[in-house]
Chains A and B, each alone.
Chain A
Amino acid sequence: MTGLWRRLLEVFRGRQLDREAVEELAHHVDLLVARKVAAGLDETEARRQALIEVGSIQSAREQIAERRTGFALDQVGREAVYAARVLRRSPGITLLSIITMGAGIGASVILFALVNAVVLRPLPYPDSDRLVRIFDTNAQAGIDRAGVATGNLDDWRARTTLFDGIAGYFAMGRTLTVGPNSEVLITAQVTQDFFSLMRVTPILGEAFSIDEVRRAQYSSAAAPTGADPVVIVARSVWQQQFGGDPGIIGRTVMLERRPFRVVGVMPDGFAVPDRGVQLWIPWDVSGVRPRDQHYLGGIARLKPGASLTQAQDQLNGVAATLGLEHGPTNRGWGVHLSPLAVETVGDTGTVLWVLLASVGLVLLVACANVALLSLMRGLDRSEETAVRLALGASAGRLVREFFLESVLLSGLGGLLGVAIAAAGLRILPRLTSDLPRIDEVVFDYRAAAFVAAVTALSALLSGLPQAWRRTRVAPIAGLAGGSQRMTGGAGRHFLRDSIVVAQVALAVVLLAASGLLVRSFLHLRGTDPGFDPRGVLVAPIFLDSQAYSSGDRTRAYYRMLFERLSAIPGVSAVGGATTVPTSPLGPDFERPVWPEGAAPDSAQRLPASVRMVTPGYFPALGLRVVDGRAIDDRDLPASPRVVMVNETLARRLWPGQRVVGQQLVVDYSTAGTYPYEVIGIVGDVRFRGPRSAPPPEIYLPHAQRSYLILNVVLRTTGDPRALIPAVRGVLKDVDPQKPAHGMYALEDLVGATYARDRQAMVTLLVFAGTAIFLAVLSVYGVLSQRVRERSREIGIRMAMGAGTPKVIAWVVRAGLRLVVAGMLIGLLAAWMLSGTLEGLLFGVAPRDALTAVVVVAVLAVVGVLATLVPSWRATRIDPVVILRRG
């Protein structure tokens, strides 16, 4: 204890101790001089001799000083300067090290920032960990996730105790007209507790009052029927459509040709139900409502202390009671609760974690490279080191110096990395706009801590091998080596080789992972979606019940629209459907269906996704009609009710039977339950992207069930995007107040369903490529050095008659030994780790033999490439020169 105390004191007394040491030594020298003067020398000569005799007074002082604790602190500054000088002496290697380090750190920081924003940071709502999404489930009907039914919401709120609010919402496009401009904005109808449970208050005005919610009734076609309807707008709408008007509160705007009073402006970043929503209107769902139409988004806040399971159990209890009270509609239905954060991020979190882990591996490879570079530089400096050790420099000091070198390298690399990350994070949103929460990516304290940690770790990892080896140089051996060009010792080789092998192994792990993702991506691309997205333009149209109150008017509008659109040059087919594959817009809902005559409880009652389509939809989308006929112009409002089913539904309901001509009952609840004649079978469509299995589907003629929402699809032989101006013109002509809500090439929408797979694949490929490149660089570097070291031996062998092939074989063997060792270790590691990729893969097993074969092939090629130049150099060694020098 006293020892520690004294050490602490010494840190502060350092200056005085140093002065005392000087004084003591000066006293000594003076006495020495005095003696020499007494012996007859003159003063100057005596002092000169004394100093020589004394030897390096400085060295003695240093040795005394070095034992003090505070010394390290005084000394670090001086040693850092020395380290910087050393680094400047080999600018090429230094620059390469800094860039390698910087790229590694930069990429890590970018990925960390993403993981941080998307996964780690809580959602930007107060106590967001208490927010959950609610889904209806029905195990009997095989539905694991459906929307919430409006009719149950009030009962849930009244009969549960573990929630601080339960709300529902439903989003659709509505036309906002401000002055001469009309624009379709995604509008969420939200029920009573919505804003209070989100705990986000408008930046202007207020959230809906109870009164405003109570008045907010809508007709079946979503037109407001209550007095004084109100709306809350997003900040972006306030800025763009209203020019940031400070007096916007109380202003009346036209929404679907109806006046709405603006009562609030929501801040940026309020993305509930999702990022696209720009308007919110209240919605009263009290009173008698259908309990069997599952289309609401459900959201709730758990009471403090209530666990997700408790809340789910309680709500399931209520659901079971409702099942008894309202048998026909509620029997079998339960709920599933899931944290809002999980639902918002989806499985992107997994991808990001995998990528962060991968970039960590790349960083390790980069550190190994820097370590190797400094080892090699250290080897070049072994003479210097040996001399300094012989002259009495302590091993500790040398180790410190080499760590300072790597600290400097990593520090500069870290700075470069931060610059790279800052630039990368700026352009990233443009590259991956579909990443959830991408707009929340910031460089916060956690990212800063990460940078510091990563940089420190890099310094440690890249400095460790060098420092470790430093202490093992015997002064005499090192000196002798200087004059005799002796080869590096076996231990030295082992360290260097181990680093290279580790690098190759890490690179193999990354290569194997990216190989799996490539295979998976090819599978995704190769999956038949059931339709042909090439050359298809989608224009979502939302008609309003105000102007299109009857089916006749709706049909008239669409008939006119289709006629005009077909006349656009290059358009080969025009059709429409309530929802189109991979498009997020339009009602995608399910209704129970069964073959006529099936018992009410029979397993033949299935929920089927319902599409209302026009005759042109089939050729426009390239759907296959497998059997029977497609919906066509014969299917008019007054004609017999007809339906088309998809292959999945046909297989489930009528396995092995003739399907066309069967009668299918569709339970339309409030709109009636009737049998429909099946007129044809449509090929299965992977509606939500290639990963999704086709659900049972029915197609109804739009003419017989006219929806106001229709996704209009146009097929063209050219680039569908080129049609956009013409389509916009036609829309304006037919009804200036009904623009489309954006227009998309279907290809882009389909592409978006595997955009994440592509990004993950490309990113991992880049990582793997970088790692392989760095590893190969190391193999090359180590081999070159070995050839240089062994040039004498090679020269002698050549003089003794070893031919070029033998020399090349020697080098290639040395190189391939490293590559093969790394490959085996890497494949083993990849084999053990591959399970973590399972969630990302499609159609490929995590332990895919073909991928392993490709990895081996790639490594064989790059391995041989890495040995080429060193081999060539080895053959250029001139035995005569070598022998003469030796």
Chain B
Amino acid sequence: MDKIDLLILRTLALAPLHGYGIGQRIEQTSGGVLRITLGALYPALNRLERTGLVKGSWALSDSNRRARYYALTPTGRRRLSSGQKAWERSVAAMIRVLRAEAK
């Protein structure tokens, strides 16, 4: 699973958000390290929706504007947990390799 897909799913696991909100949340949570461009975000959302991991629906935003909110589907939730585990395993493995010292 793509890194960006995982980030989106994780973000949506907390609460449904619109596209801008997702981008903002990821940027904030990562301390400004991960910035997702619009050109990557929307195709990814589209892909996730197409594969049934998220579901988009139009709703009114805080500022009373029509906005498209994305929410995690049960399938998405399952994929998130498996994806997260896989990702964590591989990151841990990466770290072990990077920190390995000569004996």
Contacts and interface: CB of A to CB of B under 8 A. Distances in A.
Interface of A: 20-21, 23-25, 27-28, 30-32, 53-57, 59-60, 63-64, 67
5 contacts: A24-B67, A27-B67, A27-B68, A60-B38, A64-B42
B39 A64 contact: no
A411 to B, nearest CB: 34
Contact of B50 (A24, A63, A67): A67
Chain B interface, >50% SS class: helix
A64 B38 contact: no
B93 to A, nearest CB: 29
B66 interface: yes
Contacts of B32: none
B43 A63 contact: yes
Nearest to A58: B39
Nearest to B56: A24
A27 B65 contact: yes
A57 B38 contact: yes
Chain A interface, >50% SS class: helix
B37 interface: yes
Nearest to A57: B38
B4 to A, nearest CB: 14
Nearest to B22: A28
A31 B20 CA distance: 7
B68 A64 contact: no
A24 B66 CA distance: 9
Contact of A56 (B20, B39, B58, B66): B39
A55 B68 contact: no
B46 A67 contact: yes
Interface string B2-24: 00000000000000001110010
B46 A24 contact: no
B66 A23 contact: yes
Contacts of A23: 66, 68
A54 B38 contact: yes
Contacts of A25: 38, 42
Contacts of B67: 24, 27
A27 B42 contact: no
Contacts, number: 52
B30 to A, nearest CB: 17
Sorted nearest first, the 6 A-B pairs with minimum C-beta distance are A31-B20, A54-B38, A28-B20, A63-B43, A60-B39, A24-B68
Contacts of A32: 20
Nearest to B47: A67
B39 A59 contact: yes
Interface in B74-91: none
Contacts of A63: 39, 42-43, 46
Nearest to A59: B39
A24 B46 CA distance: 12
A21 B43 CA distance: 11
A21 B38 CA distance: 12
B43 A64 contact: yes
A622 to B, nearest CB: 89
Contacts of A56: 39
A60 B66 CA distance: 20
Interface of B: 18-20, 23, 37-39, 42-43, 46-47, 50, 58, 61, 65-68
A14 to B, nearest CB: 14
Contacts of A30: 65
Contacts of A24: 18-19, 42, 67-68
A32 B61 CA distance: 15
Nearest to A34: B63
Nearest to B18: A27
Nearest to A23: B66
Contacts of A57: 38
Contacts of A20: 58, 68
Given A27-B68, A28-B18, A28-B19, 15 more contacts: A20-B58, A23-B66, A24-B19, A24-B42, A25-B42, A27-B19, A27-B65, A27-B66, A27-B67, A32-B20, A59-B39, A60-B38, A60-B42, A63-B43, A67-B50
A146 to B, nearest CB: 79
A21 B23 CA distance: 17
B37 A55 contact: yes
A446 B43 CA distance: 47
B39 A27 contact: no
Nearest to B35: A53
Contacts of B20: 27-28, 31-32
A60 B47 CA distance: 13
A67 B66 CA distance: 24
Contacts of B47: 67
A30 B62 CA distance: 14
Nearest to A66: B43
A55 B50 contact: no
Nearest to B46: A64
A55 B38 contact: yes
- Most interface-central of A25, A31, A32, A54 (chain B CB within 10 A): A31
Nearest to A28: B20
A37 to B, nearest CB: 13
Contacts of B68: 20, 23-24, 27
Nearest to A20: B68
Contacts of B42: 21, 24-25, 60, 63-64
A60 B58 CA distance: 20
Nearest to A27: B67
A276 B42 CA distance: 78
Contacts of A55: 37-39
Contacts of A59: 39
A183 to B, nearest CB: 83
Contacts of B38: 25, 28, 54-55, 57, 60
B40 to A, nearest CB: 8
Contacts of B66: 23, 27
Contacts of A31: 20
A278 to B, nearest CB: 75
A23 B65 CA distance: 11
Contacts of A60: 38-39, 42-43
Contacts of B65: 27, 30
- Most interface-central of B19, B39, B47, B68 (chain A CB within 10 A): B39
